[in-house]
Amino acid sequence: MARILVMIPAGEVYAHDNVRWYQHQDIQSHINSYHNMGDAFVFDSSLKLLRFEKFGVLEISEFRPREIARLREEYDYVFLRGSNYIHDAMNWEAAATVLKALGLPIIGFGIGAQAPVDGKIRTSDDTRAVLQLMSESTTTIGVRGAYSADVLWSLGIRNIRIVGCPTAFRRNDPELRITLKPLEQVRNVGVTVRREVSGAYAKDIERYLTFHRDLVKTIAGRFETVLLAQGEVEEKKLVLGGEAQREEAIAALRADHWASSWYFDEEMLGLYRQRLFYSDVVADYERLIRGQDLVLGYRLHGNLMALANGVPSIYCTYDSRTAEFADTFKIPSFDIFRQTTFCLEDYWDQALFDRYNRAWFHTYGEMCRFLTENGVAHKMHDILKIPQAKISRVA
């Protein structure tokens, strides 16, 4: 049992290893601000894989020597939850100074690099300093995929292991696999929606939004469909706001140039009013997703939450991050910038999901090895000790 610090948390922890957003019961306190619940999924999933008796938060906003000295005595290691940290806009505040003074191992738990549209990733001195401290303090750094590994390699960091993301393994069941039912038996489908996107990452905003719109409308016309949002302000207001806030949200969506031009028509607005789901509690998403027959769409961690619960998922890839995840786990995916038509039947193929099952099983083993080789107490199973008959059913 370990005493652990988390760096850059994404929500408050309750009942030992569960995460919800800060002040979740007072939605009005943050209904006007954006936060990505996908980050909370990763934080929650990370805790579910670890064995620990004490949990704390490492503040990196400023260097406080007395506080650092106390934390050094009370905790065993720091973990940095998986997310996009390697990009030109990352602000590490005083992290490099804090981590160097703290002197504890820094566990990189599925960190990733984000390539801009032009493909020329840039890293700051602070980013390189934090990554170097991480490399020097541990046996390996856990990264989400091959692109992130290549970026670290280009910075001279060699002790890398590709581990995907903790969310994929949150159920901690090495025998988990995706088995498709006949498509005609599919009734309940979740579409993970991401209306807001940066032009720095999605190379064609019009295509991004029009394909997104058409996908939602097609799926909603065919199945019992729920739209899964993860933190945009207007979406939160439509689900959790009062009547005035809901109308305010609709007005804002109509006024948004990109959304009104390429995403929202009356049918889409009707679906947003009737089919949208949002919660500040990770467990709420998991309960809803377990009741779906399929989840597909734009949200990386929303889709991954489905796969982690044995629910088939298909990714719509639009940037290096989503493509890297699909490649790491061999997830069936559709590049939205290919000028072709998406057909669900083309992806409802057990052979495609068996590729995913094999990649997931391999990466489960890599995550387990990563935690073990870094001396991290965890709940994952050593797949080398699983009876061969069980392994063959999965792999």
Residue with tokens 């890293």: 123
CATH number for 2-173+360-385 (one of 3.40.50, 2.40.50, 3.30.420, 1.10.1740): it is 3.40.50
Angle at Cα 25 formed by Cα 20 and Cα 26, nearest 5°?
A: 120
H/E run at residue 201: none
Of 112-126, 228-242, 270-284, 362-376, the one with minimum mean pLDDT is: 112-126
User: For the segment 66-100, what is each residue's pLDDT rounded down to a tens digit?
Assistant: 999 999 999 999 999 989 899 888 999 999 999 99
Query: What are the DSSP E strand ranges found in 265-325?
Result: 276-277, 294-297, 313-317
Q: 317 in helix, strand or coil?
A: strand
What is the C-alpha to C-alpha distance for residues 338 and 189, in angstroms, rounded to an integer? 24
- The pLDDT value recorded for residue 382 is 85
Angle between helices 320-329 and 146-154 (to 10 degrees): 110
Question: Tokens at residue 216, please?
Answer: 């939602």
Domain range summary for the chain, segments of one domain joined by + = 2-173+360-385, 183-350
- The pLDDT value recorded for residue 219 is 98
User: For the segment 206-234, what is each residue's pLDDT rounded down to a tens digit?
Assistant: 999 999 999 999 999 999 999 999 999 99
Q: What are residue 109's phi and psi, to 5 degrees?
A: -105, 60
User: For the segment 353-377, what is each residue's pLDDT rounded down to a tens digit?
Assistant: 999 999 999 999 999 999 999 999 9
Average pLDDT of the chain, as a whole number: 94
DSSP per-residue string spanning 267-281: HHHHHHHHHEE--SB
* pTM, rounded to two decimals: 0.95
User: For the segment 262-276, what is each residue's pLDDT rounded down to a tens digit?
Assistant: 999 999 999 999 999
Question: Tokens at residue 372, please?
Answer: 């073990």
What is the C-alpha to C-alpha distance for residues 120 and 88, in angstroms, rounded to an integer? 10
Rg value, the chain, Cα: 21
- The pLDDT value recorded for residue 202 is 87
- The pLDDT value recorded for residue 121 is 87
Q: What are residue 43's phi and psi, to 5 degrees?
A: -60, -50
User: Does position 389 have pLDDT exceeding 50, yes or no?
Assistant: no
DSSP lists the bridge partners of residue 6 as 57, 79
C-alpha distances out from residue 125 to 7, 122, 178, 356, Å: 19, 10, 42, 37
Tell me what the mean pLDDT of segment 304-315 comes to: 98
- The pLDDT value recorded for residue 390 is 53
Is-same-fold flag (2-173+360-385; 183-350)?
yes
User: Could you say which architecture CATH assigns to the domain 183-350?
Assistant: 3-Layer(aba) Sandwich (3.40)
